[in-house]
Structure 1
Amino acid sequence: MKWEDFQTSENIEDRRGDDQYADAGAGPRMGGAGHLGLGTIVILGLIGYMTGINPAVLIGGAEMLNNMRNNGQVARQSNPPRETTTGAPSDQLGQFVAKILGENEEVWSQVLPAQKNIQFRPPKLVMFNGETDSACGAAESAMGPFYCPLDRKIYLDTSFFRDMKNRFGGGGDFAYAYVISHEMGHHIQNQLGILPKVHQAQQRAASRAQANALSVRIELMADCLAGVWAANGNAKRQFLEPGDVEKAVATAQAIGDDRLQRASRGVVVPDSFTHGSSAQRVQWLQRGLQSGQIDSCNTFGQN
């Protein structure tokens, strides 16, 4: 992937220098309104330890859903001010993230008004190590990258890129760009007014399975929107190289709920899916890549 000539975003909050929680050995916080119980966290942690699978997909959807149901009002400890650097980082990884974010900003500032007559408002991206705060509750590396609609920020512990390569069998610059662009896709959903409507529908859901099904549609749409970004950006800059799309597809396959559940539990429970199966994730990513159109990503209009 040819990313070095992308514009560099300044909408970065770099909290990686704040090691107070990592040094203290802090794990997932317990007891907040949006967090899972201690027993659940321990069990998932053991599964991850024994299988080498990051439990992000297993706990992330449920925890973030709980946070949203409580409007982000989680119990917080009083902590000293954190060290935060704003603007593009100077290290290579930070530069990569800033340039992928910048290319997303450039593409969506054109595509969103042209296709939906909505002005694009860029989100902030928070880079952190281990754990940090968000308006949706504690942001933890075990949750994987996520978007918080309450503060309109993307949260990224860049160790997830290492996990993609070592545990998920994914990796490569475009695969990493796909992850960032997926989270940008959630921001686009927020600007389109889709996230608030889905949140309300989840609150009215008769069961966790119904709420999870809505989460799957949101995640698959974000996969598709990541493809829309890549299609439009590549049409202008020709930044994709041979093998890039295949690597992103391999990553989408690797982080499908069915594959992660089969590896960690030995069985697949579709009602507990929060992100979609491997086949679904690949299907919707490719749909966005092929069409370049936001309207092609309507996961709610299809079975």
Structure 2
Amino acid sequence: MKWIGRRQSDNVEDRRGMSSGGKTIVGGGIIGIIILLLNTFGGENAQMITPILEQFNQQQTTQTESRPLTEAEKTEGEFVKTLMADNEDVWTKIFEENGLTFEAPKLILFSGQVETACGGASSASGPFYCPSDKTIYMDMTFFDELRTKFGAEGGDFAVAYVMAHEFGHHIQTLLGTSGKIRLLQENRNETEGNKLSVALELQADFYAGLWTHYNEKQNKILEAGDIEEALSAANAVGDDAIQKKMQGQVVPDSFTHGTSQQRMYWFNRGFESGDFKKGDTFSESN
């Protein structure tokens, strides 16, 4: 992905290497990894992650030290700030075209654990968006797990896809979509509630594809293999792919994020159409 030389966002706080003075869950092993993938791009459910982890992890340790960032981490931070600026610019344009007012979220990079308005979370939560403080949280070690444990292609555009997806959850908050779905879920059984969660996640994938369409049009960002990296990441975090790898079987009624095929389809739909109005995942299924 071509990114050097463009605007960098001021809405990014880099806490990597900083001591939080709180407790970090350790000893998670495979349980932590399972929960990481099952909750990837979890949007509104981020506040549920820590209690689940604590059920399986009894050991705790306190973070007390900080360290300077490596040169690689500094470059990574510059890249993330550029991605954030690209998302801000694209969504400002899309909102203006549709007579809406855009409000940018904040992004916090962290290591190990973080406290949010949705509750505490560890690295095992994966990247997530907290609607209560309108902030995206990312521990960049997630992308190593995505590649080494679940076979996704590496590369900078996998990071771009994940961030654009989480930014999509912010768009849903601004538009009131997330709030409406929460109200609907209160009157549905678990299976029906899960279907609504899937539609919400697939729409965030559509928004990630839409962002890619606009950003390519404005900045000519794409290089060979970039779209394949995004689709590989979407494929790796499909509910069916995760369940098959972790459980050896697939349970469709328990899906909360969508199948690999669905996630790739909706990303591609946003990317190829470039049409904000074609992201109604609640009326359509695929």
Q: Under TM normalisation by the shorter chain, which class is it?
A: 0.7 to 0.9
Give the equivalent residue in structure 2 for 1:295: 277
2:254 aligned residue (268, 272, 277): 272
Deviation at 1:239, TM superposition (A): 0.9
Separation of aligned partners in 1, 2:100 and 2:20: 40
Change (3 A) 1:274 1:167: same
* Separation in 2, partners of 1:145, 1:57: 10
Residues 5 and 277 of structure 1, relative CA distance in 2, 3 Å threshold: same
| Cα distance between partner residues in 2 of 1:296 and 1:63 | 21
Alpha-carbon offset, residue 167 of structure 1? 1.8
Q: Which residue in the other structure is 1:149 paired with? A: 131
Q: For 2:109, what is the secondary structure of its paired residue? A: strand
Secondary structure, counterpart of 1:241 in structure 2: coil
One-letter amino acid of the counterpart of residue 145, structure 1: P
Specify which of 160, 176, 193 is matched with residue 176 of structure 2: 193
Verify the 8 A CA contact 2:41 2:166 in the aligned structure 1.
Answer: no
User: Is 2:217 aligned against 1:219?
Assistant: no
SS of the residue 2:191 aligns to: helix
Task: Tell me the C-alpha RMSD between the 2 structures.
Answer: 2.7
What does 1:4-153 correspond to in 2, within 5 Å? Answer: 4-20=4-20, 26-27=24-25, 45=28, 47-48=30-31, 53-59=33-39, 64-65=44-45, 67=47, 91-114=74-97, 116-153=98-135
Separation of aligned partners in 2, 1:157 and 1:165: 15
2:233 pairs with 236, 251, 270, which one? Answer: 251
5 Å-filtered alignment, 1:203-242, equals 203-205=186-188, 207-242=189-224
Residues 132 and 138 of structure 1 are in contact (CA less than 8 Å); yes or no, is this contact kept in structure 2? yes
- Deviation of 1:181 (Å): 0.5
Within 2, Cα distance between the matches of 1:204 and 1:66? 21
Question: 2:41 and 2:7 mapped to 1: Cα distance?
Answer: 32
Within a 5 Å distance, the mapping from 1:164-183 to structure 2 comes to 164-170=146-152, 171-183=154-166
Amino acid at match of 1:192: L
Letter in 2 for 1:57: L
1:66/1:95 CA distance change after superposition, 3 Å: closer
Structure 1 residue 163 corresponds to structure 2 residue 145:
yes
**1:12 CA drift (Å):** 0.9
When the two structures are aligned, how many residues end up with a matched partner? Answer: 266
For 2:92, the aligned partner's letter is S
> For residues 254 and 73 of structure 2, what CA distance do their matches in structure 1 show?
41
1:102 maps to amino acid:
A
- CA shift at 1:46, angstroms? 5.7
Secondary structure of 2:277's counterpart equals helix
Alpha-carbon deviation of 1:62?
A: 8.3
Q: Secondary structure at the match of 2:25?
A: coil
| C-alpha spacing 1:48/1:65, structure 2 compared with 1 (3 Å) | closer
The residue identity in structure 2 corresponding to 1:110 is K
Residue 66 of structure 1, CA deviation: 8.3
Deviation at 1:121, TM superposition (A): 0.7
Report how far residue 165 of structure 1 moved: 2.0
Q: Deviations over 1:227-280 (max 9, x none)?
A: 000101101211101111011111111111100100000000111111110000
TM-score for the superposition, normalised by structure 2: 0.85
SS at match of 1:91: helix
Normalising by structure 1, we get a TM-score of 0.80
**Matches of 1:270 and 1:145 in 2, distance apart?**
24
